[in-house]
Amino acid sequence: MNKFYSAINIKDESELKTFAKVSGVKLTKLKYYSKEMIYPHKEDLKKILLATEQSEIEFKLKLGIVDNKIKEFLANHSSEISKFFKQEPPKTELVEIEPVFQTEKGKLFQSDCIPLMRSLPNESVDLIFADPPFNLNKSYESGVNDKLSKEEYLQWTEDWVMECVNLLKEGGSLFIWNLPVWNTYIAEILNKHLTLRHWIAADVKYSLPIQNKLYPSHYALLYYTKGEKPNVFNTERRPLEVCRHCGGDIRDYGGYKDKLNPMGINLTDVWYDISPVRHSKYKTRTSNELPLKLLERVITLATNEGDTVFDPFGGSGTTYIVSEILKRKWIGCEIGPIETIKERFNDIEFHKGVLDNIDDSKNILFSDATKKLRKKNNHWLPETLKINNKEPRENLPTQVELFPKA
């Protein structure tokens, strides 16, 4: 039984059915409030409080709900309340964990991520990228099935998220890749400790259409920093979006074509070019695998060569292989088998080639192939608009930052 059932003093299904009859709240509503961790709606709340003979404040405290009024009360009575708690924080026994795989730049540990993070020095990492299990009842190579109750999943999430906060250097960056529903809860945790830079939407369809719902088509990537601003922010520019068949403009740029930045369009907080890894040429395991482009972008954006990257959920090791190639130090953790990760390092030249291609497609207005296609179909090019790309950047005309099609 979870917090909701404990708050109404219910121990089993039989007692829950009896409570539904006594309180007048439907059994299905009680189960909904419990499963989804939803605070009861006003009329149901009145019935629950009457049946349990408790005040709303007591009920909220039992559920762990602390609104602004309760916060104000706690702050005003902090001296008295603190006497109920031990002054000494509980001591956590640190376990020494040895790496199972090492490279020139990094170390990989086969461990649960929380004890590993507790064994690492506080404020020692420049960038953390986390792609945790999504709690979708999927089985992984580790043999772990990630289906927990909502309450259990969120408690575990808070535990590892707070360890990430401790590990991060002042000015360091934290990125968390998850479904939007879970990142709303994670954002609530992080907003108390770090500074939100962006909620990035990666336009990737991650499931089939669901009846009576909008089609889920994006992953949420949270981007936070420790402190007011990041130590490193290396933004990139993207090529202009064009029709893949004729090379023509997707948008009408009117009279601003001659003012476009020759280096490309500003990267926005909606990423349209992150495709899931499905082709066998690039896929290294049966479970979902993050694309190299995603990690290349995050690591390049938030770190410089020699900085330290940490990923608590290793998976197929995409974070580690990209960090190695980009000359970042890295620390990795994977609770399951690590053979797939080790094998990827045996094929590091292939991954270098992929990253070289990614790098060639950045900070340009048009690729060579696109220029050729546009020229063939008589579409405008920078040289046809008399943009002098050889001028120093500071002498270029005022540049308009245009955004991709919404």
Spatial CB neighbours of 28, under 8 Å, sequence gap ≥ 6: none
What's the confidence (pLDDT) of residue 285?
A: 43
List the pLDDT tens digit at each of the 406 positions of the chain: 689 999 999 999 999 999 999 999 999 999 999 999 999 999 999 999 999 999 999 999 999 999 998 999 999 999 998 888 876 655 556 668 999 999 999 999 999 999 999 999 999 999 999 999 999 876 655 556 668 899 999 999 999 999 999 999 999 999 999 999 999 999 999 999 999 999 999 998 777 788 898 988 899 999 999 999 999 999 999 999 899 899 999 887 777 888 889 899 999 999 998 987 654 454 454 445 789 999 999 999 999 999 999 999 999 999 999 999 999 999 999 999 999 999 999 999 999 999 999 999 999 999 999 999 999 999 999 888 865 444 444 444 444 444 444 4
All residues at 6 or more sequence positions from 103 whose CB lies less than 8 Å from its CB, including other chains: 324, 345
Instruction: Provide the residue ranges of all domains of the chain, joining segments of one domain with +.
Output: 3-82, 101-360
Residues ≥6 apart with Cβ < 8 Å to 269: 198, 199, 200, 201
pLDDT at 404: 45
- The CATH class of the 101-360 domain is alpha beta
Residue pair 311/333 in contact (Cβ under 8 Å)? The answer is: yes
Q: Give the Cα separation of 332 and 299 in Å (integer).
A: 14
- Whole-model pTM: value is 0.86
Q: Which of 288, 257, 252, 297 is CA-nearest to residue 387?
A: 257
Q: What pLDDT score does 205 carry?
A: 78
| For the chain, the helix, strand and coil percentages under 3-state DSSP, each to the nearest 5 | 40, 15, 45
- Determine how many CB atoms are found less than 10 A away from the CB of residue 6: 12
Question: Which pLDDT score is estimated for 400?
Answer: 44
Q: What is the pLDDT of residue 140?
A: 56
CA angle 106, 331, 161 (to 5 degrees): 170
Q: Which pLDDT score, from 0 to 100, does residue 145 have?
A: 60
